[in-house]
Amino acid sequence: MLLRSILSRFTVFALAFLSFACLLGTFYGQWSMRWFGCWVLPPATVLLGAMAWWKRREPRGVQSPYTWIVQGAVGGIAAAVAYDLYRLIFVLQGAPLFNVFPRFGELLLGADEPRWLVHLVGWTYHFSNGAALGIMFLAMVPKSSRWLLIFGAIAWAMFVETVLLFTPYTKFFGLPMDGKFIFLTASAHLIFGIALGLWCRWRVHERQRAT
């Protein structure tokens, strides 16, 4: 039973991680985002959806793949919205924090026109990363503890941000690797972690206690 749980967690985590692998592999010249986005991400997303549907009738606590995938994805998207709303304050003051999204779209489409489609695809990919972070987080949570969900989500978001800063992310997108940028991106990931943790506490911990 334990081995089955570990295998399920690893499978869900790995499938969700492919959203980030799409970009990371592009940084290091392993593949193009267009190729990966066409041939790897869609079947991975379908598999995650199929797993959630297959497990939909099982108990929906922190041990459930349905919970990891559905609540993780929705919580990750909600956290990404909070993340962007926080950053919007600085974007309106001239910070280039949203400039990467149309670049995502260009890389995924292999074209820079039409601009509306470039932005739509780029923002969609951004939110898919938010969903992936939520899924990966819940796939790692061993028990339903409200403090573990909150502080674990914060630690997870800050860990991801730290790792990202060691990749060619800033150089690849022409972002300034200075103190102001590090503060803005780190504080935004803190907001993401808090929002994700609060969502998981509400939708996973409190719901499990109520059943």
Answer yes or no: is pLDDT of 211 > 60. Answer: no
Residue 102 lies in a domain: no
Residue 119 lies in a domain: no
Percent pLDDT > 70 in the chain is 96
Range of the domain at 180: 2-96+130-210
Helices (H) and strands (E) in the chain, counts: 11, 0
Residue 108 lies in a domain: no
pLDDT-derived band at 210, boundaries 50, 70, 90:
very low
What distances in angstroms separate CA 80 from CA 86, 97, 143, 189, 207, one per listed residue?
Answer: 10, 14, 24, 9, 22
Query: Which tokens in the block code for residue 201?
Result: 């506490």
Answer yes or no: is pLDDT of 1 > 90. Answer: no
Residue 170 lies in a domain: yes
pLDDT-derived band at 2, boundaries 50, 70, 90:
confident
Span 170-197, average pLDDT: 95
Amino acid at 179: G
- Could you tell me the pTM of the whole model? 0.95
Amino acid at 106: E
Residue 73 lies in a domain: yes
Residue 107 lies in a domain: no
pLDDT-derived band at 207, boundaries 50, 70, 90:
low
d(CA 157, CA 192): 7
Residue 118 lies in a domain: no
More confident residue, 59 or 66: 66
Query: Which tokens in the block code for residue 2?
Result: 């334990």
d(CA 171, CA 174): 5
- Among 124, 175, 135, 97, CA closest to 17: 135
Q: Residue 103's CB: how many other CB atoms inside 10 A?
A: 16
pLDDT at 4: 87
Tally the domains of the chain.
1
Answer yes or no: is pLDDT of 59 > 90. Answer: no
Residue 105 lies in a domain: no
Q: Residue 114's CB: how many other CB atoms inside 10 A?
A: 10
Q: Per the omega criterion (within 30 degrees of 0), is the bond before 114 cis?
A: yes
